[in-house]
Amino acid sequence: MQSGFVTADDATAPCGREAGREREERVVIALLVVACEVAFWVLLAAGLALRYVARKPRLGAAVLLCEPLLEVVLLVVTAIDLKNGAEPDWKHGLAAVYIGFTAGLGHHTIKKVDAWVAHRWFGGPPPVKPPKYGTARAIHEWRTAARWILAAVVALALLQAAVWYVGPDGAISSLRSWQQKMGLVIGINLIIAGGYTVWPKQPPKDAVTDREPADRF
């Protein structure tokens, strides 16, 4: 005859297993974010090595084009995790921010590293330095701000999509917190670029300056 008594361990076992499963999912998301960040630099190094060391520029370019796949994988896994009922926390917000900043700054980062490697070890021309003074500096600051603003806007859009997906009754405070941070990023960049426009930096009186090209977007 089966006993009708329920022990404390029996009563808490399902909750314990559920909590353990949630902790494992959170660890997986955190590790995936780290893995994507590491893979970004690994693919960058591999693409540059194929381009310059192995003398296979097309293959190197193909490897560099694999960078966006990292963001796709991260976004899909994050969406699946939320769909399976995971409580949104800072890791889910970080995934959206990572995707946004890679979208806004990833291409420019690759170009800068590529130019530096070509100059440092393979006889390429020196990278173009950012302008220091006047209108050229203001243009440079606005282009820099545009990259950061694009990154923040993409992150904001993904975070808002997550908020709508979870719904008003879900735990969305961490996602809202990341949105506030992205708004701060936009504001800071607008202030910096606007400051160089309203109060352009002037060269020293005894300095001899050439026309300084602003970098491309």
* Residue scoring higher pLDDT (44 or 89): 44
| Alpha-carbon span 53 to 47, nearest angstrom | 10
| Alpha-carbon span 142 to 189, nearest angstrom | 8
| Alpha-carbon span 34 to 11, nearest angstrom | 37
* Residue scoring higher pLDDT (211 or 36): 36
| Alpha-carbon span 80 to 88, nearest angstrom | 12
Among all chains, which residue has been given the structure tokens 């670029």? 193
pLDDT in tens, 161-202: 888 877 776 667 778 889 999 999 999 999 999 999 999 988
| Amino acid letter, residue 200 | P
Structure tokens at 28: 């997986």
pLDDT of residue 1: 43
| Alpha-carbon span 190 to 141, nearest angstrom | 9
pLDDT in tens, 69-95: 777 777 777 777 766 766 666 777 777
Structure tokens at 65: 């084009």
* Burial zone of 30 (CB within 10 Å; 0-12 exposed, 13-18 middle, 19+ buried): middle
